[in-house]
Amino acid sequence: MEKVQETDIFQVAENFETFGKIETITPYGSGHINDTYLVVEKNGSSLNRYILQRMNTSIFTKPEELMENIVGVTSYLKEKILDQGGNPKRETLQLVKTKAGADYFISEAGNYYRMYDFIEDAVTYDAVKEPEDFYESAVAFGNFQYLLSDYPAETLHETIPDFHNTEKRFHDLEEAIASDRVGRKHLVAPEIAFVQERKDELGILLELQKAGKLPLRVTHNDTKLNNIMIDKETGRGICIIDLDTVMPGLSLYDFGDSIRFGANTGAEDETDLSKVSLNLELYRLYRKGYLEGSKGTLTGKEIEMLPMGAKLMTLECGIRFLTDYLNGDTYFKIHRENHNLDRCRSQFALVADMEKKWDAMEGEL
């Protein structure tokens, strides 16, 4: 669906069941997919905050199904958290219903919106500041997967089919190269060659899954550091957010994507590639936290394949950025010229560094 700008975002927000008078609505966060806003309202002398999101329906083409997943997962987590004596208001996302009692709102312009309670006194990071935060995020992502281990996976819709099918991502790249829609192919010969050289590795995890050697689990699939809220006071990973891609998947996808983003000494879009490398200390720390958080549920094979999870998620993400660059930047939000190419190069530099450090990564077994 083509993006149609909302003329009045206040009018949209007013359709949700909040309690006071909305004062301000401002763009928020640094996600690449949804349009996120912070809504502040006054209720007597107190200020209430909410997150309002316009879902990206070009990417999530079945928003009804997506919201069914989110309602299912958040209500399930709420029960689990209550059972464990936790506080679901801070430990899981809570949807705010519309005044009509629905879980989302469709505007006149045809945009789909949802609203969440704002999780107060917690932050998201775009880069690891303290190793301890990264460790805590690992425990929380491991625990998230553990909490969902009995979730009826068959009720989950696949919001993006083949999301982490790395071979399929490679075919999408080949298609983008062949059509060269915006004439950028000649600019990326080294990047294309980088992928070609690693073509045989792309299916390793899928093969193991098909052979029944890696279990399918309910996973988050987008475990970068800014998709977890860290409690300001305790430093604990308090709440996993961005649940759009919760689907059956491999634990290695979750582990790998966190390493890709958080254990990179450079940013995801770093242009000075000398700054990009794998921080082995952070790799070890995350691994420890993830194993701890998933409470012994990972099989021997999963643990053995953790380095491959990290490498393939990084390579796959680079492939996706490159594909989007070749397609004219239609998927990921970009904030500057060549942004997707910069992102791709940072991912590939990280893959190359992982290859250099492979023995050390495997030595962690």
Residues forming the site for Mg ion (CB under 5 A): 31, 227, 242
Q: Alpha helices of 84-200 — where are they, by DSSP H?
A: 88-91, 131-147, 166-179, 189-196
Residue from 35, 91, 136, 242 touching ligand GN1 (CB under 6 A): that is 242
If phi > 0 it is left, if psi is from -120 to 50 it is alpha, else beta; for residue 180 that is left
Q: In which element (H, E) is residue 219 found?
A: strand 217-219
Are the beta carbons of 164 and 273 closer than 8 angstroms?
no
What residues have CB less than 8 Å from 48, skipping those under 6 apart? 18, 19, 20, 40, 41, 42, 118
Are the beta carbons of 116 and 94 closer than 8 angstroms?
yes
Q: How far is the CB of 73 from ligand GN1 (least distance, A)?
A: 15
Cα 302–Cα 304–Cα 308 angle in degrees, nearest 5 = 85
317 binds, among ligand ADP, ligand GN1, Mg ion, none (CB under 5 to 8 A by kind): ligand GN1
Q: How far is the CB of 316 from ligand GN1 (least distance, A)?
A: 8
Residue from 268, 270, 302, 329 touching ligand GN1 (CB under 6 A): that is 268
The C-alpha atoms of residue 116 and residue 93 are separated, in whole angstroms, by: 7
Q: Binding to ligand GN1 by residue 33, rule CB under 6 A?
A: yes
Q: What is the DSSP letter of 100?
A: T
Q: Binding to ligand GN1 by residue 32, rule CB under 6 A?
A: yes
Q: Among 263, 365, 359, which Cα is nearest to 310's?
A: 263
- Among the candidate windows 59-67, 238-246, 269-277, 279-287, which touches ligand ADP by CB under 6 A? 238-246
Residue from 80, 224, 311, 339 touching ligand GN1 (CB under 6 A): that is 224
Residue from 133, 136, 242, 268 touching ligand ADP (CB under 6 A): that is 242
Q: Binding to ligand ADP by residue 310, rule CB under 6 A?
A: no
* 157 phi/psi in degrees, rounded to 5: -80, 145
Residues 46-85, one symbol each (x = binds ligand ADP by CB under 6 A, - = not), give -----x----------------------------------
Return the number of the residue (26 or 179) whose C-beta is nearest ligand ADP. 26
Both tokens assigned to 2: 């083509």
Return the number of the residue (143 or 245) whose C-beta is nearest ligand ADP. 245
Residues 1-40, one symbol each (x = binds ligand ADP by CB under 6 A, - = not), give ---------------------------xx-xxxx-x----
The C-alpha atoms of residue 78 and residue 54 are separated, in whole angstroms, by: 24
28 binds, among ligand ADP, ligand GN1, Mg ion, none (CB under 5 to 8 A by kind): ligand ADP
Q: How many residues bind ligand ADP (CB under 6 A)?
A: 18
Cα 37–Cα 43–Cα 45 angle in degrees, nearest 5 = 120
The C-alpha atoms of residue 340 and residue 120 are separated, in whole angstroms, by: 32
The C-alpha atoms of residue 303 and residue 83 are separated, in whole angstroms, by: 29
- Among the candidate windows 27-35, 68-76, 88-96, 287-295, which touches ligand GN1 by CB under 6 A? 27-35
Residue ranges binding ligand GN1 (CB under 6 A) = 31-33, 59, 222, 224, 227, 242, 244-245, 257, 268, 317
